[in-house]
Amino acid sequence: MRVLKVSAVVLVCVLGLVTLLSAEQNKFGVADSRNITFTDPMRVGTVLLPVGNYQVLHTMEGDSHIMVFKQLNKKKPAEARVKCELVPLAAKADRDQKVYVLNASGERVLQELIFRGDLAEHKF
C-alpha cells in the first residue's frame, strides 16, 4: 500500500514537471497552454463558466488570437472561446493575475489575464 502511495506521488510530480516544461512561450511571448482556477463562476465571452480548474489554450484563427478555456476533470467539461488582444508587458510577468468586472447581474466578467513568465497580457 505504501509503495502505491509513493508511486502515485512520484507520478504526479513527473506529470507536473512535464506540464511546466511544455509551457514554453511562442513567438508572441505567451505560453500556448496554461492552467487556471476559478473560485467563483466567471463569464468568459458569452459563456458563464462554473467554479473549477481549466486548461487555457492560446490559438490563432487567421490573424485573431483566441483563448479556449476547457474545464478539467469533468465528464461534461464546460468550454468557452473568446477573442483576445495581446498587449506587450515591459518585462516578464512575476505573477498570475485575473482582472474582472461585475456586470448588472452580479456575475464576474473576465477582462484581462496575465500569466507568470509571459511577456504579454490577454485583454478580452
Tens-place pLDDT, residues 76-120: 999 999 999 999 999 999 999 999 999 999 999 999 999 999 999
Does residue 10 sit within a domain? no
How many distinct structural domains can be found in the chain?
A: 1
Report yes or no on 16 lying in a domain.
no
Residue 33 inside a domain? The answer is: yes
Give the residue carrying C-alpha cell 467563483: 40
The number of beta carbons lying within 10 Å of the beta carbon of residue 38 is 20
The DSSP call for residue 50 is: P
Residue 68 lies in a domain: yes
Show the domain range for 98. 26-123
For residue 12, being part of any structural domain is answered with no
pLDDT tens, position by position, 12-64: 444 444 444 444 455 667 889 999 999 999 999 999 999 999 999 999 999 89
Domain membership of residue 55 (yes or no) is yes
Within-domain flag for 54: yes
Catalogue the E-assigned strands of 45-96.
47-49, 52-61, 64-71, 79-88
